[in-house]
Structure 1
């Protein structure tokens, strides 16, 4: 009987301790999210929830934010609901879900748009504090201009996007890592450009980034990336609809002064005919190049200390990024 009493007491103490730890962690999660409501929306995003719930006891943390609003400088995104789930025994793996539509407004330009979807899911898995994999998938996506009425800008039947750690590029002694990116859009339509049934894929590599996700909110992230010799390598981007296509490869780095340096090679077919009226005649050849025998346009766009070159001719300027 005495042994049973001891065992029962031990179980009660474990349950009480576990419950206390869970309640403390849930409170910290709530306080962290609530603190984002006090952010200035410039140096860090300002996030508010009409209703915030933290549930899932005893083995999960289920965070639900209803009537969510996020402000980043002049842009505000309002979302009906987002949810995030983390298992207690797997704290480095987060699952998130969003219920749309998302309403996007820009106070500077006065623009207003809406993004809708079905089955939006996201996940982030860490290795220590380094991103091991981050993924986003969604179906039946539609982006509409809602400034006056509602006008469809573009849609896609499916989106998938992934960021994957590149272990061979991890340099723990320097605190830097690299990510490979892959994005795919299926059944793309854009009525304004007479595009239907298209698809687009992007493959890129981002090197020299911090190997600690807690540093991603650092206001000096871009200078830190530049000092680490970071680069954005566009392995390949291709968008195609029927005989029309646009594709590009290239790379980008920043100078000590935050000015862009790099080079991008572009090829296209049928694009000039669709957007020709949107470009001044003297700019069309500079941006898209000259056609070959089968109607494919080719051009090389260079960046030197922020100056954009078409071949050897300067055609624009990108201001310093920091």
Structure 2
């Protein structure tokens, strides 16, 4: 009996410690999540404000924040983007892009990092107009680091991207890319007033239609460049940014540009700037293997056989008058019957020989190649004395 009275009573409070600690931790985590979710929402608002000041106004039909307890998600349904002041021509009407959904994901430990996913397709139209462009993709992601302050890094990636022009029920392809990536980051080595932007563009299986016959065939590209001359990082439309870059003597230093299209391989390095008219100026040192494959792709022989329409000639040899070319070929036929036909049939070989006479012998990736300068003079592109393209102004 006495032994039973001396037995110590068990303490019950330790049993409740663990549940209380767990409840406190859960409450603290919930508070931290909602606080971080609020910061993410502020970062998204700051990003939208920055984009709107740059001429790209984002809007949502409905917006929600979710992802508790380990993710932070801002979902924008029935999204639209109003694109204004993004082209050199002031007469261009604003465009409105509509897509089903934009999902922005933030890391709970770093709300300054935003990752966005875009749901396809997207359609673009002028205010009150039917859709004029359609864009589709299988995967589209973007990331931004540094918000709500000045973004330090940004990337965008597309898989199976397609851009089509719409005209009623007709759909015409404008561009394709099996894979496309664009990365940019601010370099820290320079003072803030003159920092540089490093950019990398990678394309696989890309093609561009209605620009140049060569670009209609699939090609791969890898371009690495550094942009200098950025005076500030306040949001603004692209034409205004380009105008300020030109005034500050901004340059694009291309450290490497490689393009491959079938057997044609070209690499380039050099510096490009902007003329007072907003057009490209500068020079690239080109090395090209398989340049003889370029001339047949232009279809010069077929053009000459059928006579040269000015509109067609403008696309492959801007500045050359079709009337002059056709009259010369006709005069050859009248002087010596068959001579004009011979010239037409051998046009590709003659042009290829002329191009090969430019520059000097080189070796590119183990293949014979030619090295020559590619000059940009107020938007006109020259290989030696031959003008091969005309680039529109950027502002």
TM above 0.5, yes or no, is yes
Larger radius of gyration: 2
Counterpart for residue 21 of structure 1: 35
Q: Which residues of structure 2 form unaligned runs of 5+?
A: 1-12, 85-93, 304-308, 321-347, 359-372
Counterpart for residue 84 of structure 1: 104
Change (3 A) 1:65 1:10: closer
Counterpart for residue 331 of structure 2: none
Question: Does 2:293 align with 1:293?
Answer: no
* Cα deviations by residue, 1:140-172 (Å, 9 ceiling, x for unpaired): x332222131324156462131325475x7313
The answer to which structure has the higher strand fraction is 1
Counterpart for residue 79 of structure 2: 68
Please tell me whether the aligned partners of residues 166 and 177 of structure 1 are also in contact (alpha carbons under 8 angstroms): yes
Counterpart for residue 171 of structure 1: 190
Question: Does 2:60 align with 1:49?
Answer: yes
* Cα deviations by residue, 1:53-102 (Å, 9 ceiling, x for unpaired): 22123443211111111111212211111212111213343322111111
Give 1:197-236 correspondences, 5 Å limit.
Answer: 198-208=218-228, 215=233, 217-218=235-236, 221-222=241-242, 224-226=244-246, 229-234=249-254, 235-236=256-257
Q: What RMSD in Å do the two structures reach over aligned CA positions? A: 4.9
Change (3 A) 1:28 1:319: closer
- How far did residue 21 of structure 1 move? 1.5
Please tell me whether the aligned partners of residues 208 and 216 of structure 2 are also in contact (alpha carbons under 8 angstroms): yes
Aligned residue pair count: 311
Residues 268-277 or 62-71, more deviating: 268-277
Counterpart for residue 270 of structure 1: 296
TM-score (norm 1): 0.70
Change (3 A) 1:249 1:208: closer
Change (3 A) 1:35 1:175: closer
TM-score (norm 2): 0.59
Counterpart for residue 131 of structure 1: 152
Identify which of structures 1 and 2 has the higher relative contact order when contacts are C-alpha pairs closer than 8 Å and 6+ apart: 2
The answer to which structure has the higher helix fraction is 2
Q: Which residues of structure 1 form unaligned runs of 5+?
A: none
Cα distance in 2 for partners of 1:281, 1:12 equals 72
Please tell me whether the aligned partners of residues 67 and 79 of structure 1 are also in contact (alpha carbons under 8 angstroms): yes
Cα distance in 1 for partners of 2:266, 2:83 equals 31
